[in-house]
Structure 1
Amino acid sequence: MPMTDDVLRKIENAASVFLGDYSPVAAADYLSGTNHILPTGGSAKRFSGLSVQTFLKSMTYQSLSKEALKLMSSDITNLASNEGPYTEHIRSVKIREE
């Protein structure tokens, strides 16, 4: 069965897909340049193959102006109040509005 775009779109959990009659696993393992350290035991549902990204720690940064926080304040408060007894989230916004 040829790998059409429709077939490829249906593949959801694979760390590496070998397309066509001339793409053996050995080519990926030794020479074609793709990663051959792949997740096993069904873990491709959650993880990709081993890569540089595996060993890097990422961080996110946020910087809001007073005006931006003021615009978002009511939405943040509404979401935080539905989160449960975590009033410190609400307080962290309100204290900055003073």
Structure 2
Amino acid sequence: MRLTDTQVDAIKDAVAEVLGPDARVYLFGSRVDDSRRGGDIDLYIEVHAPPMPGWLEAKVALQRCLWERLGPQRIDLLIRSDEQPLRPIHRDALQQGVRL
């Protein structure tokens, strides 16, 4: 996994602050492969709350919080409530992903 311990802690803290302490965070995509270089940070996040009004606002707030802690860079967020159906993209992220 190509994230430092400091970056992992920053991600986990930001997710807990914006989406709650029970949110589960997984890194997937190119940053999981130690043999690759560069690439964006792909995060799959599962929350225990149903989709709410302001869901998009929460995603924007999380993006902003991550940029403040990690610096401006490409971060892709895939957020799913436990009550939403598991789609193929979610399954792929869970199969490839590393829980932070």
TM above 0.5, yes or no, is: no
Higher relative contact order structure (alpha carbons within 8 Å, sequence separation ≥ 6): 2
Q: TM-score range by the shorter chain?
A: under 0.3
Structure number having the greater strand percentage: 2
Q: What's the TM-score once normalised by structure 2's chain length?
A: 0.23
Which of the pair has more CA radius of gyration? Answer: 1
Q: Give the structure-1-normalised TM-score.
A: 0.23
